[in-house]
């Protein structure tokens, strides 16, 4: 027992006490999922959307180009294999009984439910080996797991990422907010 306590003391002294309690997941933001050099509005800057009516063929063509641009949005390569924690809104895709096994995670309420969906680099396809209880469309959740760069189509939009989830929990506001 004394040897074990000595080893623990040496370990804590060498690496510091914070390493023992360190969170294994890095908190990611939605902005961190977008490569710094990607400008989703670049090819639309010359288009005056305020001057177009819904029935204008130029508006229809612009929406089609936007959907294509956003569906092919690039992902941030440094996130491949990263253990992350991110909060967003859930859109259930696959169920096992009344439990969710796959869902999309999106950055804002109503995303994917309304047209157009967010860019692919703002949609995460979340897969859980353990079915999740009590999840409804647009529930605010925080997920932790391993990120992959896997593009997938769904009825709600194209996801640029896939997260193999280790933990899903109801979103909680940070303390002091």
Q: How confident is the model at residue 11 (pLDDT cuts 50, 70, 90)?
A: very low
How do residues 52-102 score in pLDDT, each as one tens digit?
Answer: 888 888 888 888 888 899 999 999 999 999 999 999 999 999 999 899 999
Residue 167 has a CB neighbour count (10 Å cut-off) of 13
Task: Decide if 104 contacts 65 (C-beta within 8 A).
Answer: no
For 119, which DSSP code? P
CATH topology of domain 25-170: OB fold (Dihydrolipoamide Acetyltransferase, E2P) (2.40.50)
Alpha-carbon gap, residue 88 to 172, rounded angstroms: 11
| Residue 175 in this model has a pLDDT that exceeds 70 | yes
Domain spans in the chain, listed from the N-terminal domain onward: 25-170
pTM of the predicted model, to two decimals? 0.82
- Write down the pLDDT at residue 22: 59
Give SS3 for 76: coil
Reference 104, options 27, 150, 147, 157; nearest CA is: 157
Q: Bridge-partner residues for 145, per DSSP?
A: 84, 165
Cis peptide before 11 (omega within 30 of 0): no
């Amino acid at each position: 027992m004394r040897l074990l306590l000595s080893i623990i003391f040496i370990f804590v002294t060498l690496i510091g006490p914070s390493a023992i309690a360190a969170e294994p997941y890095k908190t990611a933001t939605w902005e961190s999922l977008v490569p710094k050099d990607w400008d989703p509005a670049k090819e639309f800057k010359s288009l005056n959307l305020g001057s177009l009516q819904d029935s204008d063929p130029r508006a229809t063509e612009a929406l089609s180009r936007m959907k294509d641009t956003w569906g092919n949005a690039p992902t941030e390569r440094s996130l491949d294999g990263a253990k992350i924690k991110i909060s967003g809104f859930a859109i259930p895709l696959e169920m096992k009984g009344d439990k969710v096994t796959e869902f999309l995670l999106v950055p804002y309420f109503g995303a994917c439910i309304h047209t157009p969906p967010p860019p692919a680099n703002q949609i995460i396809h979340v897969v859980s080996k353990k079915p999740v209880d009590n999840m409804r469309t647009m529930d605010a959740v925080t997920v932790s797991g391993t990120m992959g760069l896997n593009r997938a189509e769904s009825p709600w939009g194209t996801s640029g990422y896939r997260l193999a989830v280790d933990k899903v929990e109801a979103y909680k506001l940070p303390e002091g907010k």
